[in-house]
Structure formats: structure tokens, C-alpha cells
């Protein structure tokens, strides 16, 4: 989802198709160190956007914790090290808002990292993403001056939009609800049950906004980036700027889909983190702001779902 959005943004902003190198999962297993090294040695990219990851919602994180930590650690380690060994000067690593403590003060600032206990349901994934940030910082600290390495990290809030995974169980909340409300509309189901109480609040960012932010941060001159970050606290938050409750999000999705039944809440299921609202003031001060409001983004996401 994110990788294709970054490609769309680059193409729309003057980068030629021939200048963009991509690989599907079928073409390149990023957990295979030798395959990744071979790819970098052959392609010799100038810049790398590291958007690849194993992702999912609460159910997937709870069910496959080993894959979530192993696959993400391997993907990140293989790509970042191969980039360095093949003289890539600029790399952007995409993390996740789940790197922050479960009870971090809201909105979550970058300096909340490593100040408290993580949310248990996605701790393996969060630890992998924290390791990715620290990989970038460590290569910068050791090789920034000697080799001109400039590896940066951005932490997006919850993303949605074209190219999302609409699996009924292993997807994130928005694509999962789009699918469930659509299926309920088709079958005339009287109600749709949502996991948890509906009270947790989440911030949602349309994926094309994330793509624009990624390119914006990648292209910031080094002096500006260094001025806004620290060598061991170098990541930048990317958020929409406000959040909504899961109940509000569900009602909006029902409206977009055209589902007219009732919405209920299964309180036997976990809520996850009570609130995950990002403080994006650092990125806003650097000249980027989200553009796509939730209702518009959800409408476009539903149109994408209908094409599947």
C-alpha cells in the first residue's frame, strides 16, 4: 500500500518510471540476506524508501508474534546493511506509531520513545520497528561522516487507502471494517459487531498523504533535518493532526458503504491501546501538512475495495 503510493507520488512529481526500481514479494524475498545483497549489487540505487513490512491488526499481531518480529527484523537489517554496503547515501525507513509506550502522553511526541511499556498485543512488531530506527541511527553515527550516510526514519500513524489489505481477520481496523460493512450490506445483515468497546481513539492518515510526507522528509536538506532531530532521537512523526473513536470511525465507514443496520460492540475482545494520537508539529514546522480528510479518504478507499 505505502510503496505503491510513494511510486504514484514520485511519478506525479516528475520522476521517470525508468528511474524507479521496485520488486514484488514474489520477485524478491527481503528476509533472504543473500538475495537482498544481490539485488542491491545489481541495481545500485541512489535512494531507498524502505516501506516493506509484515503488518496487521490486533488479531494478526496476537496470532503470529514470531513472524511479526522475525520477518520485520530481517527485512530491515538486510536492506539497511545492503544499502550501506552498496554505497547508498540516502534511505528512508518507515516505522509505526506503535513504537510508543501504551500509556504515552497524548499527543505522542518523538521523545516518548523508550519511556514506558509497549502495548502487549503488538510488542513484537513495535520492537522490530524500534530496531529499524536504531539501525538507521547507528549507521549514521558510525558512517555518517566517513561515508556520507544519511538514513532517516518517519513514523506514520494508522494508514489506509488504495492497495490496502482487506482480509477479514488479518487486516487493520479500517480495511477490515470496510469489508465487513460491505458484506453486511450485500447480505442484509441486521447488525455488525465491532471488536472492543468502541471507545479507543485512533488517528487515520490517507496513504497518499503519507507518500507526500515520505518524499518531503527524504528531500529535506541535511542541515535542516539535523537541526530538527538528534543523533539518537532522529525519527519524525507523520500524522493527520486529529483522531476519532473506533465507534465514530465505524459509523463513518457504514455511511460511506451505505450500510443501514445497527453497529454493536463485542466487549469480550481487546481494545488495544486506549489512544494513539501523534504529535506531528515537528513535520508541520518543516512544511508538510495532511491534505485528505477522513470522509474523502474513506470514500476513495471503498472505491478501491470495490475493484478487488
Q: Is 166 a catalytic residue?
A: no
Predicted local distance difference test score (pLDDT) of residue 55: 83
Set of cell numbers at residue 205:
492518515
Predicted local distance difference test score (pLDDT) of residue 173: 86
Q: How far is CA 7 from CA 24, 53, 71, 102, in A?
A: 13, 16, 23, 33
Catalytic one of 9, 100, 125, 166: 125
The three-class DSSP label of residue 306 is helix
The three-class DSSP label of residue 23 is coil
Q: Which of 211, 210, 178 is nearest to 194 (CA)?
A: 178
Predicted local distance difference test score (pLDDT) of residue 276: 86
Question: Contact, 207 vs 162, CB < 8 A?
Answer: yes
Those residues whose C-beta lies under 8 Å from the C-beta of residue 158, and which sit 6 or more positions away, are 97, 172, 173, 174, 202, 203, 204, 205, 276
pLDDT in tens, the chain (308 residues): 999 999 999 999 999 999 999 999 999 999 999 999 999 999 999 999 999 998 877 777 788 899 999 999 999 999 999 999 999 999 999 999 999 999 999 999 999 999 999 988 889 999 999 999 999 999 999 999 999 999 999 999 999 999 998 876 667 889 999 999 999 999 999 999 998 999 999 999 999 999 999 999 999 999 999 999 999 999 999 999 999 999 999 999 999 999 999 999 999 988 877 888 999 999 999 999 999 999 999 999 999 999 98
Predicted local distance difference test score (pLDDT) of residue 170: 66
Phi, psi (degrees; rounded to nearest 5) at 240:
-80, -35
How far apart are the C-alpha atoms of 162 and 142, rounded to whole Å?
38
The average confidence (pLDDT) of the chain is 95
* Cα dihedral value 192, 197, 201, 202, nearest 10: -40
Q: Is the peptide bond before 244 cis (omega within 30 degrees of 0)?
A: no
Question: Among all chains, which residue has been given the C-alpha cell 549489487?
Answer: 41
Predicted local distance difference test score (pLDDT) of residue 68: 94
Predicted local distance difference test score (pLDDT) of residue 59: 74
Q: Which of 91, 104, 171, 168 is nearest to 132 (CA)?
A: 91
- The model's pTM is 0.93
Amino acid at each position: 500500500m505505502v510503496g505503491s503510493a510513494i511510486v504514484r507520488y514520485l511519478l506525479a512529481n516528475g520522476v521517470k518510471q525508468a528511474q524507479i526500481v521496485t520488486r514484488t514479494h514474489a520477485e524478491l524475498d527481503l528476509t533472504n540476506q543473500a538475495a537482498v545483497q544481490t539485488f542491491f549489487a545489481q541495481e545500485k540505487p541512489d535512494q531507498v524508501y524502505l516501506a516493506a513490512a509484515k503488518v496487521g491488526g490486533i488479531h494478526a499481531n496476537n496470532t503470529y508474534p514470531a513472524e511479526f518480529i522475525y520477518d520485520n527484523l530481517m527485512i530491515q537489517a538486510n536492506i539497511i546493511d545492503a544499502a550501506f554496503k552498496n554505497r547508498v547515501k540516502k534511505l528512508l525507513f518507515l516505522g509505526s506509531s506503535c513504537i510508543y509506550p501504551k500509556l504515552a502522553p497524548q499527543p505522542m511526541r518523538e521523545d516518548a520513545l523508550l519511556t514506558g511499556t509497549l502495548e502487549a498485543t503488538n510488542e513484537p512488531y513495535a520492537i522490530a520497528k524500534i530496531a529499524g530506527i536504531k539501525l538507521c541511527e547507528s549507521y549514521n553515527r558510525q558512517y555518517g561522516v566517513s561515508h556520507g550516510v544519511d538514513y532517516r526514519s518517519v513514523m506514520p500513524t494508522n494508514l489506509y487507502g488504495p492497495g490496502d489489505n482487506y482480509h477479514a481477520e488479518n487486516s487493520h481496523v479500517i480495511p477490515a471494517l470496510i469489508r465487513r460493512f460491505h458484506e453486511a450490506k450485500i447480505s442484509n445483515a441486521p447488525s455488525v459487531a465491532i471488536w472492543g468497546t468502541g471507545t479507543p481513539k485512533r488517528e487515520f492518515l490517507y496513504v497518499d498523504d503519507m507518500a507526500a510526507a515520505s518524499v518531503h522528509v527524504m528531500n529535506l536538506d541535511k542541515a535542516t533535518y539535523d537541526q530538527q532531530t538528534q543523533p539518537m532521537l532522529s525519527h519524525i512523526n507523520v500524522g493527520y493532526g486529529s483522531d476519532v473513536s473506533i465507534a465514530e470511525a465505524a459509523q463513518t465507514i457504514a455511511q460511506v458503504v451505505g450500510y443501514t443496520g445497527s453497529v454493536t460492540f463485542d466487549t469480550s475482545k481487546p481494545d488495544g491501546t486506549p489512544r494513539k494520537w501523534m504529535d506531528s508539529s515537528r513535520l508541520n514546522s518543516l512544511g508538510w501538512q495532511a491534505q485528505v480528510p477522513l470522509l474523502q479518504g474513506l470514500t476513495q478507499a471503498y472505491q478501491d475495495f470495490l475493484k478487488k
